[in-house]
């Protein structure tokens, strides 16, 4: 697929609704919303996990308690736009990053700037190859897409994710632990029969913001890697076909 062909089908800004969660980084969250407005996104939906809403957002959804990052997959269920752009409150999406999403989103079930391929035998979340947009020259299909630097997908697919069987994996988590990226990536593959992709970017696709609350970051929670490993193993056992398995089958 040529870049010329993809550019001709670039998703209009008016077809995109952006979503994010707001919890422990209120200053960063507000900067992210302001950046999205600067980029031309006209609909921004924020799921507020028991905290004050962001005044610049076009829609603020309020949750009395912190349900974690799953709010990102609930906030845009009512949008009438064709695509949903999922962002986090620790990175600013740049114009180059958004342009890459708009260019490639029509060709993959989900596009991101960061993703991974798990290594056999899928018994450790940390055993994986990582792929970043700024290091790629062409799209790379992956098992896991991580939306911290952005994830864009069709609204029709987005609406199916909250009711997918992959969320059954959450029952293996310890009380108070959160995990969404694995279940979402599994759901994308299962619902579409295709893998999401990390897409190339010409330039810098994101800017990392200063950490406001490192003690509350999910990656810093005690036992986080074991928790994610348990989710991974549950999803694989219940039918998530990871790419390394397909490659191994081809070689036989």
- Angle of helix 224-237 versus helix 181-192 axis, rounded to 10: 20
Q: What is the pLDDT of residues 94-104, one digit of tens each?
A: 999 999 999 99
How long is the chain? Answer: 252
Cross-strand partners of 130: 116
Cross-strand partners of 141: 197
Architecture of domain 14-251: Alpha-Beta Complex (3.90)
pTM of the full structure: 0.92
Q: What is the pLDDT of residues 173-214, one digit of tens each?
A: 998 889 999 999 999 999 999 999 999 998 999 999 988 766
Place of tokens 């490659």: 247
């Amino acid at each position: 697929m040529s870049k010329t062909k993809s550019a001709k089908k670039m998703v209009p800004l008016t077809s995109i609704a952006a979503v994010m969660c707001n919890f422990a980084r209120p200053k960063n969250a507000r900067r992210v919303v302001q950046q999205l407005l600067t980029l031309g996104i006209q609909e921004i939906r924020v799921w507020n996990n028991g905290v004050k809403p962001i005044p610049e957002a076009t829609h603020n959804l309020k949750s009395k308690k912190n349900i974690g990052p799953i709010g990102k997959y609930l906030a845009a269920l009512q949008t009438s736009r064709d695509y949903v752009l999922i962002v986090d409150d620790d990175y600013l999406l740049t114009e180059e990053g958004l342009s890459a999403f708009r260019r490639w989103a029509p060709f993959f079930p989900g596009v991101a700037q960061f993703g991974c391929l798990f290594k056999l035998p899928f018994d450790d979340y940390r055993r994986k190859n990582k792929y970043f947009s700024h290091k790629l020259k062409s799209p790379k299909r992956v098992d896991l897409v991580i939306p911290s630097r952005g994830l864009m997908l069709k609204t029709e697919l987005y609406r199916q994710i909250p009711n997918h069987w992959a969320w059954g994996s959450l029952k293996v988590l310890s009380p108070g632990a959160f995990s969404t990226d694995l279940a979402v990536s599994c759901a994308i593959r299962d619902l579409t029969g295709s893998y999401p992709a990390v897409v190339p970017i010409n330039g810098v696709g994101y800017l990392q913001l200063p950490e406001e609350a490192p003690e509350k970051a999910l990656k810093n929670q005690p036992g986080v890697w074991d928790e994610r490993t348990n989710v991974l193993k549950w999803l694989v056992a219940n039918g998530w076909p990871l790419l390394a398995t397909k490659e191994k089958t081809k070689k036989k």
